[in-house]
Structure formats: C-alpha cells, structure tokens
Structure 1
Amino acid sequence: MNIKIIGVGKLKEKYFREGIAEYLKRMDKFAKVKIVEVADEKAPENLSEAEMAEVKDKEGKRILAKIKDKEWVIALAIEGKQRPSEAFAKEIADLGTYGHSDITFVIGGSLGLSPAVMKRANDTLSFGKLTMPHQLMRLVLMEQIYRAFMINIGSPYHK
C-alpha cells in the first residue's frame, strides 16, 4: 500500500517533524508513506471573501498537481465524515482489498481546501469540529493511520 499525505506549508516545528518521523518509521512495515508539502499562499491577515477564495484556489492548484488519476483521495475537512478509529481502520483495509492501494490524504492550509480539491476527493475525513493548526493535523493523521494498521493486525496498541 502507498500512502501520500499532501499538506499546505512547510512543517517548521522540530517537535512535529520528530513525531511524524517516529510514525513514518513505525509504519514502514505496513505501507510506503510519503509526505508532500506544497507552498502556502502568502496573504495578509484580513482577507475579503474573494481574496480567501483566490488563496484557496492557488493552493488547490498546487495540491491537485501532486495527485495522480489512480489515487484514492481523502480530504481532511471540518465538514468531512467523522468515524471511529475502528471504522477508519476498516476503510483503509477495504481500500487495499478492493484495488485502491494508492491512498492520498489532503490537508489544506489555514483557510481550508478549495472547491476543486473537494470535488476531486473520493471521500472526506474529519477529526471533529475542533479547529486545529494544519501542522498538528499532519501528526494526528499519522497517528490515526498507524492506529488503523494496528487495529487491522489486532495489536494491543489500540485499547
């Protein structure tokens, strides 16, 4: 299985990079996991609706350029589908079973994902209504993917 995580912006904080590196190491025996960073669009603090849409559109084009046709895309969004860890684990296993061995997760920038990226997504995922920094979402997603693999092999990691 190949898993790609596309995130907007560079991960600067050492503690996030170290956490992600740990989960990359742990998942090595289950999947080839690749992290892809696309540049975030520089924008002033107070944007109009049109300016926000333009920023999301530009970031969205960068994201879409990194997605291949064969990839099964799951967009992380507050309005996405929430599911318990067990259901997420089953979904990951089912995707591999039914021929979708290239899974791409997409995490938008601070303004979220463009309509074009949401349209390209085969599925959505939400970790709840809480707002989190997109940098933290990468680490949370990595842990949940690892947890899914542990659930699927019956490991006591998930209790």
Structure 2
Amino acid sequence: MPMRVLTVGKKRSQGTQLLVEEYKEKLGHYCDVEDTLIKSNPKLTSDVKVQIEAEDASMMQQLKAEDFVVVLDENGKDVMSEQIADLIGDAGNTGSSRLTFCIGGPYGLGIQVRERADATIRLSSLVLNHQVALILLMEQLYR
C-alpha cells in the first residue's frame, strides 16, 4: 500500500531532509512513499487559531476520501513498533488506497484533520518538534 506523510512546517533543516530522503529510498524497495511539506502559517497571521485553521484547510485539501488517515498527536494512543506494523497491515485490509500520516505544526493539528483521522497515535510521551516526529516516524515505518 502506498504511504504518504503530510507535515506542517517551514523549510526543513538540511539534516532532516537528508534523513527523510534516506528513509524514503529504503522504504521505496517495499512501497511507494510520498513526503509532502505543507507551509506553516500560510496566512502569516499572529492569531494562533487562524493559523491552525489555515493549516487544517491546507492539509484537508491534500487528503482523499479513500485515504486511511493516521494522525500523530501528543494525546494519541501510545504505540510500539509492532503496533505500527499492525496498523499498516490493518489499513491495507480496509480497502483504502493509501495510508496517510499527518504531523501538525507548532500548534498541532486542526479539528477537521483530527475528525477525519481513522487512527490517532503518539510516538512518544514527549512533545516532539515536527521535524523530530517526522524522522522518528520514517524510522518506524522502515522498521
């Protein structure tokens, strides 16, 4: 099943981008992996609520009805590597055409994306920067 990772943020550090590309190459032997960066704060507002809503709308435009959507959130279900593997397998049994992971920006994800989620997980009890969460997710997908 093809996978896609949607991340809200600004331009990534060179180190982060190198690691993401390395994991995409490794994962590419098993499935198609797409990595999409959604611009943080597209309306350049200082109002956090407006920023979250704009990022939420941008992410929703990227999601298709047939996607199995997994949201990464600090309040999500704790998962271990084996459970992520099970989640990937379960997503393949739903008839969904693509597995999409969503990582929010500095203020998290908006309500529309959260409600659209088929599963909500957290990779750590720590609050992670979106670039760290992306690298950790890519490593777990490869694992």
The TM-score range, normalised by the shorter chain, is over 0.9
Instruction: Tell me how far 1:131 sits from its aligned partner.
Output: 1.4
Where does residue 69 of structure 2 map in the other structure? 73
| Structure 1 residues 53-64: aligned runs within 5 Å | 53-64=49-60
CA distance in 1, matches of 2:18, 2:115: 33
CA distance in 2, matches of 1:106, 1:98: 18
Instruction: Tell me how far 1:129 sits from its aligned partner.
Output: 2.1
| Structure 1 residues 80-95: aligned runs within 5 Å | 80-95=76-91
| Structure 1 residues 10-159: aligned runs within 5 Å | 10-41=10-41, 42-44=44-46, 51-147=47-143
Contact 1:11 1:135 in 2 (8 A): no
CA distance in 2, matches of 1:12, 1:113: 18
User: By percentage of residues, which structure has more strand?
Assistant: 2
Q: Where do 5+ consecutive residues of structure 2 fail to align?
A: none
Instruction: Tell me how far 1:28 sits from its aligned partner.
Output: 0.7
Contact 2:104 2:130 in 1 (8 A): yes
CA distance in 2, matches of 1:56, 1:39: 11
The structure with the largest alpha-carbon Rg is 1
Number of residues of Structure 1 aligned to a counterpart in Structure 2:
141
Cα–Cα, structure 1 residues 30 and 11, in superposed 2: closer, same or farther, change >3 Å?
farther
Contact 2:26 2:142 in 1 (8 A): yes
Q: For 1:110, what is the secondary structure of its paired residue?
A: coil
Q: Where do 5+ consecutive residues of structure 1 fail to align?
A: 45-50, 148-159
CA distance in 2, matches of 1:73, 1:100: 9
CA offset digits 1:3-60 (Å, max 9, x no partner): 010011234311111111110010011110001111110344xxxxxx3222111100
Shift >3 Å, 4+ stretches: none
Q: 28-37 or 94-103: which moved more?
A: 94-103
- Counterpart code for 2:3: I
